[in-house]
Amino acid sequence: MMNRKKTKAVWLVLVMACALLLASCGGVGEGAGPAGGEAAADRTDDETDAIPGGATDAVDEGTESMEETAVPAVEPVTVRVGSLKGPTSIGLVRLMEENDSGETQNQYEFTMETAADTLLGMMAQGELDIALVPANVASVFYHKTQGGISVIDINTLGVIYMVSADPSIKDVEDLSGKTICLTGKGTTPDLALQYLLSAHGLSVDDVTLEYKSEATEVAALLAEDPDAVGLLPQPFVTAAMMQNESLAIVLDMTEQWNMVQGEGGSTLVTGVTIVRNEFLTEHEDAVRLFMADHKASAEYANTETAATAELVVAQGIIEKAPVAEAAIPYCNIVYIDGAGMKTALSGYLSVLEGQNAEFIGGSLPEDAFYYIAE
């Protein structure tokens, strides 16, 4: 059925080349922490009744079934899953709990890291079977491994927001002349911002971009300077707003992206789930079972927010349940597979290719990049 089986020797040779390219892109995480990885922010015990902003209902609009593919009954398989310590892992916490309780048919071993290049190294060495990584990084890795991985689903849409106490910012054009603090040059927040600036007739020359090494630095700056403008992912947005009541979400970057693209256009994709094709070839039924488990876990995160918040704290993703519960609706956790996944992801990668093809590994990946269950 599949003819892309790679030997471990090839993976070991390619991992170094991939790591070098990813480093040259300025970071490969989801937009927070060193190299763009996610980490828990400093938080307070204060709660808010509501958080301004316009996050969409990710479950209603973004979750697709597995194209009516029946979940197979399979022999138990140990599946090693890696994810980033942030929104992508939030969609897995229910599955983690069920696995710990022995309620899953597969046996899962979960690993959480703060940077995507760590996960990619483990994938390349055969130490992980499945990983949840930034969308553009998946494309880069596909090219560097000569088609050694496939995308099986989209797990998060846009999770980045422009935050400020400046009420004059109501549209992208209002950013002209502003200093914007963000993390990770070449990461999802940076790419999205540059695309939106260009779409509104602006460039990086019309703003001052101040790159910080960690999202906590951006959050701290926002807490100290009421005129500062920060581009942050969740849950740092919620944490910063709980620490400073004058802060508000002034621009939802996903909403802005969708406005530029229009009906039928691409959407902002943050995280995707990839699988080693060697593992997929040998254990396709187990991979499809994981997909079903992942879908159920993502739906649980969106419908059982309070319970999920407690699981998020238990897994060490966010320190305090009030912050987690307030942030989850803004994390755009989804499960999209099949044709819907291919349409959304290929559209997003096409936009990035138009900005700089190196962001996606030099060119758009072939159709084989997208796994669609038969």
Distance CA(26)–CA(47), nearest Å, equals 35
Mean pLDDT of 92-109: 97
Domains by residue range for the chain, with CATH? 8-41+63-158+267-369 (3.40.190.10), 160-261 (3.40.190.10)
pLDDT tier for residue 236 given thresholds of 50, 70 and 90: confident
Write phi, then psi, for 65 (nearest 5 degrees): -75, 170
pLDDT at residue 121 above 60?
Answer: yes
Q: Which of 273, 271, 270, 269 is nearest to 79 (CA)?
A: 273
pLDDT at residue 96 above 80?
Answer: yes
Q: What pLDDT, on a 0 to 100 scale, did the predictor assign at position 140? A: 96
How many helices, marked H, and strands, marked E, lie in the chain?
15, 11
Would residue 177 be called left, alpha or beta, if left means φ above 0 and alpha means ψ between -120 and 50 degrees? left
Q: What pLDDT, on a 0 to 100 scale, did the predictor assign at position 373? A: 87
Q: Long-range pairs for 164-169 at CB < 8 Å and ≥24 separation?
A: 164/222, 164/227, 164/228, 164/229, 164/230, 164/247, 164/248, 164/250, 165/222, 165/226, 165/227, 165/228, 165/244, 165/246, 165/247, 165/248, 166/226, 166/227, 166/229, 166/250, 169/229, 169/250, 169/251
The amino acid at residue 33 is G
Q: What is the tens place of the pLDDT at every residue in 349-358?
A: 999 998 889 9
Q: What pLDDT, on a 0 to 100 scale, did the predictor assign at position 141? A: 97
Distances (CA, A) of 92 to 77, 241, 276, 361: 18, 25, 19, 28
Q: What is the tens place of the pLDDT at every residue in 30-86?
A: 333 333 334 333 333 333 333 333 333 333 444 444 444 455 565 778 999 999 998
Q: What pLDDT, on a 0 to 100 scale, did the predictor assign at position 83? A: 96
Q: What is the tens place of the pLDDT at every residue in 141-184?
A: 999 999 999 999 999 999 999 999 988 999 999 999 999 999 87
Q: What pLDDT, on a 0 to 100 scale, did the predictor assign at position 302? A: 96
Distance CA(309)–CA(260), nearest Å, equals 33
Distance CA(369)–CA(367), nearest Å, equals 5
pLDDT at residue 222 above 90?
Answer: no
Q: What is the tens place of the pLDDT at every residue in 262-321?
A: 877 889 999 999 999 999 999 999 999 999 999 999 999 999 999 999 999 999 999 999
Q: What pLDDT, on a 0 to 100 scale, did the predictor assign at position 56? A: 37
Residues 6+ apart with CB under 8 A from 75: none
Mean pLDDT of 207-227: 85
Opening angle at CA 155, ends 153 and 159, nearest 5: 145
pLDDT at residue 29 above 80?
Answer: no
Average pLDDT, the chain: 83
Q: What pLDDT, on a 0 to 100 scale, did the predictor assign at position 10? A: 42
